[in-house]
Structure 1
Amino acid sequence: MIAWKYKGRIKGGCRVAEEQKKKKGSWLVPIIAAVAVAFIVRSFIAAPYVVEGASMEPSLYDNDRILVNKTTSWMGEFDRGDVVIIEGENNRHYVKRIIGLPGETVEMQEGELYIDGEQIEEPYVNELADYAEQIEETSVEEEEYYVMGDNRGNSLDSRNGLGHIPEEYIVGRSMVVFFPFGNMQITN
C-alpha cells in the first residue's frame, strides 16, 4: 500500500509538471496570433498616421493622429475631396486632398478651382479671398490624381513639387482624427 501511494505521488507529480508545461506553452499561440493579426490589419486594412505641418489646415492640424483606411488603395475607390496619404520618396508620407480625378482637367483662376471648365466649391479651404494663385489648365492622366493641401499658401502638392500622383502611391484614405480628443472628427 505504501508503494502504491508512492507511485501515485510520482505519477501525480509528472501530471503537474506536464500541466505546467502546457500552461507555459499555451500563451505562445495566442501571442503569435495577436501579432500576426495586428500586422495584417496595419499592413492591409487600417493604420494610424501623424499629420506633420500645416498644409492641411484648417481641416487637419500639426500632430493630429488620423486613422487611414488602406483597403481603398487596392480597391481603387477615390473621389474628389478625399483626404489621402501619399507615399513619396525616401518612405516619406504626405497628407493631401484629391482635387482632380483621372481624365479631368484642372485649372485655377484667381484662387477659384475649375475642373473640366466648371467651377468647384471648396468649403474645406479657408481664406480663399486672400488666395489668388493661377494654375494653367493641366490634364490628369489615367490612373493619376491631382492633389492639394487645404492650406493653399503653405502646401507642397501637385502644383509645386509632388506632381500628379500615380494611384499606386496612394496608401489609403483618411477616415477619422482620433487624437487629440478635442480635434476628433470624421475626415471625409
Structure 2
Amino acid sequence: MNEVSCLKKEIFEWLIAIIVAVALYFVIHQFLFLVYTINGDSMHPTLKNGEKVIVNKIGYTIGEIHKGDVVVFHADKTDDYVKRVIGTGGDKVSYKDDELYVNGKKVDEPYLDENKLSKTNVQLTENFSVKDITSPSVDTIPDGKLLVLGDNREVSKDSRYFGLIDEDQVVGEVALRFWPFNVFHYNFDPAQ
C-alpha cells in the first residue's frame, strides 16, 4: 500500500471510532444514565451542593420506585429536583412529633439523624399527613403519585410545598455520587 491509501485508511478508521463513540454517548445519555450536579442544600447531609451524581434512568423502566429511593424528577419545564421518596401509591403517610408513619407503622429515618442533632426542642419535620398536602384532600396517596421530601427538611421545597408528584416526572434514581472523589458513595438506600 502506498502512503496516501494508508493515510486514507487511518482517517476512515478514526472517523468510524468517533461516530461509534458519539452514538454510544447518545444512547447512554438518552436511555441509561445521566450526570447531575446537586444544586442547593435540600438533601444535606446525604447530598451536598456542588456534588456530582450519576442518575440511573433505566432502573425504573424495568423496575419500581421504592420508598427511601433518592430520585431526580422534573419539577417544571426548566428545573429538576432531587428528593427522597417517602410514600408511593396506596400509602397513608403522616408525621407526628417528628416521626414518620407509613400505613400506621413507624418508619426509621437514619438519614435525618445529623440534622436532628442540630435541633433543640424544635421538630425537624412538622406534623402533617397526605390529606394536608393534597387537593382535593385524600387520606391515601393515589396510584401513580409519590410523596417526596428533602433530607434537610428546614430548607427543602418538596411535597409539603408543591404536593404529590407524578411517577412519570421521575427521571431516575441517584445511583452514585462520584464528585468530589473523597465522598464517593453508591448506595443511598436507608435500609442497607
TM value normalised by structure 2 = 0.84
**Counterparts of residues 89-108 of structure 1 (less than 5 Å):** 89-108=76-95
C-alpha deviation, 1:18, in angstroms: 2.6
CA displacement 1:9-32 (0-9 Å, x = unmatched): xxx7xx432332222222111101
| Match 2:37 to one of 31, 42, 50 | 50
CA displacement 1:21-70 (0-9 Å, x = unmatched): 22222211110111110111111111111111110011111111111111
Matched residue type, 1:152: R
Matched residue type, 1:182: N
Max Rg structure = 1
**Counterparts of residues 162-177 of structure 1 (less than 5 Å):** 163-177=163-177
**Residues 99, 124 of structure 1: alpha-carbon distance in 2 compared, 3 angstrom cutoff:** same
**Residues 60, 177 of structure 1: alpha-carbon distance in 2 compared, 3 angstrom cutoff:** same
**Counterparts of residues 5-84 of structure 1 (less than 5 Å):** 15-84=2-71
Measured on the aligned residues, the alpha-carbon RMSD in Å equals: 1.6
2:131 is the counterpart of 1:120: no
Unaligned residue ranges in structure 2 (runs of 5+): 132-139
Unaligned residue ranges in structure 1 (runs of 5+): 1-11
2:146 is the counterpart of 1:159: no
SS at match of 2:110: coil
SS at match of 2:151: coil
Structure 2: how far apart are the matches of 1:184 and 1:23?
A: 39
Runs of 4+ deviating beyond 4 Å: none
Matched residue type, 2:75: G
Structure 2: how far apart are the matches of 1:54 and 1:19?
A: 56
Are the equivalent residues in 1 in contact too, given 2:130–2:141 (CA < 8 A)? no
Are the equivalent residues in 2 in contact too, given 1:96–1:149 (CA < 8 A)? yes
2:141 is the counterpart of 1:140: yes
TM value normalised by structure 1 = 0.86
Are the equivalent residues in 2 in contact too, given 1:73–1:168 (CA < 8 A)? no
Are the equivalent residues in 2 in contact too, given 1:58–1:150 (CA < 8 A)? yes
Q: What is the identity percentage for the equivalent residue pairs of Structure 1 and Structure 2?
A: 34
The structure with the greater share of residues assigned to helix is 1
